[in-house]
Amino acid sequence: MKLQRRKAYTEPILWSDKDEKLLLAFLKKELFDSKKLKGLFPHRTLPSIRSKVRKLRIKHDLFGAVYRDDKEDFTTLIAKKVNPTIVFDAYAGAGHQTFKWIEIADKVFASEIMKSKLKQFEKSAQKNGFVKKETKKGIWKLYVKGKKRVYFFTGDAIEAAADLKVNKTNIDLIDLDTCGSTLPALPTFLVLLKPKHVVITHGEFHSMRFKREDVLRRLFMHRDISSNPLPLGVDKMSDELDKAVKTSALRAHNETVDSFWMNLKHEAWLGSKFHGMLRRHYKVEKPVATSDCINELSISK
């Protein structure tokens, strides 16, 4: 079926400071509830409210707050199992996962594209006993605690990864913890940094729940882009994401021998299975053979 562009059928209503404060106060106390929010803002559409909720959650470090403890527990579990020396936290935000990785690792390189997150990151550093050190040059800010080193880059994660590649930094583990999807960028991270492990948070479940066919057709590179993947249940979506990750890695290089095979080792739900997100740990291996990999990816679950 041919897709149609998403259109706004109503005139946009600017959010006043008063309305933003009202919405922020609600989000700090309660989970997203469409009926209650429509009651607070009867003259706004639900897509408009959802969009503002997402922006405020990111800006004020509320995104994922309800399952932050679960996420940190999973990070600690994986850190203890694989014992990484150097970690790249690609979408660091305020640094909650960064300072869990550094409990085990010697160095963590963290990047975040939102400039406003730097102050939040520095508060997290101070809270965890890290002291900012002035450096003469370079694009990374440095925070030190004993022999531990945390580096922070304000900018795009791929730019940060490219700098690490140029400076021959050996990365043991990449953490791809984003509220959206990192599937299109995954091959680039793998080729640049060649990590031994990848931890990835799947925010694509939101696109499934909101029936964003256009988004899923773009992200599911293992499927025909002209076919509609919907309807999808949670378990089927989980399988599709696993195949998408493995296909992205297998196609990361022209030659199979120089590409990657993602071996799923651990996973955990953040929040409830039907409202939360899925966090997974993959061990990065060399593909055995093109035929074997394709055969496995072709099996219907």
Flag whether pLDDT at 210 surpasses 90. Answer: no
**Quick check: 45 and 67 in contact, CB under 8 A?**
no
Flag whether pLDDT at 66 surpasses 70. Answer: no
Query: Does a cis peptide bond (omega within 30 degrees of 0) precede residue 229?
Result: no
Note the pLDDT of residue 250. Answer: 96
Note the pLDDT of residue 268. Answer: 95
Flag whether pLDDT at 151 surpasses 90. Answer: yes
Cβ neighbours of residue 219 closer than 8 Å, sequence gap 6 or more: 181, 183, 184, 204, 207, 244
Assign 114 a pLDDT band (cuts: 50, 70, 90): very high
Residue-wise pLDDT tens digits, 6-51:
766 667 778 888 888 888 888 877 777 788 888 888 888 888 888 8
Q: Tell me the C-alpha to C-alpha distance, in Å, between residue 166 and each of 146, 170, 193.
A: 27, 11, 10
| Residues 234-243: b if buried by 16+ CB within 10 A, e if exposed | beebbebbbb
DSSP assignment of the chain equals: ---------S---PPPHHHHHHHHHHHHHS---HHHHHHH-TTS-HHHHHHHHHHHHHHTT-TTGGGHHHHHHHHHHHHHHH--SEEEETT-TTSTTHHHHTTT-SEEEEEES-TTHHHHHHHHHHHTT-EEE--SSSS-EEEEETTEEEEEEES-HHHHHHHHHHTT---SEEEEE-SS--GGGHHHHHHHH--SEEEEEETTHHHHHTT-HHHHHHH-TTS-TTS---S--HHHHHHHHHHHHHHHHHTSSSSGGGS-EEEEEEEEEES-TTTSEEEEEEEEE--S-HHHHHHHHH---
281 conformational bin, left if phi > 0, alpha if psi -120 to 50, beta if neither: beta
Q: Tell me the C-alpha to C-alpha distance, in Å, between residue 107 and each of 15, 110, 111, 298.
A: 41, 10, 13, 39
Residue-wise pLDDT tens digits, 222-272:
999 888 999 999 999 999 999 999 999 999 999 999 999 999 999 999 887
| Residues 295-299, mean pLDDT to the nearest whole number | 90
| Residues 182-200, mean pLDDT to the nearest whole number | 97
Note the pLDDT of residue 46. Answer: 83
Flag whether pLDDT at 298 surpasses 70. Answer: yes
Flag whether pLDDT at 301 surpasses 70. Answer: no
Note the pLDDT of residue 8. Answer: 65
Note the pLDDT of residue 42. Answer: 86
| Average of per-residue pLDDT values in the chain | 90
Flag whether pLDDT at 283 surpasses 80. Answer: yes
Residue 271: phi and psi, rounded to 5, are 85, -170
| Residues 113-123, mean pLDDT to the nearest whole number | 94
* Percent share of the chain, pLDDT over 90: 63
Residue-wise pLDDT tens digits, 138-149:
899 999 999 999
d(CA 140, CA 6): 39
Higher pLDDT, 54 or 145: 145
pTM of the model: 0.86
* Percent share of the chain, pLDDT over 70: 96
Note the pLDDT of residue 291. Answer: 94
d(CA 141, CA 118): 10
Flag whether pLDDT at 77 surpasses 90. Answer: yes
Note the pLDDT of residue 206. Answer: 81
**Quick check: 261 and 197 in contact, CB under 8 A?**
no
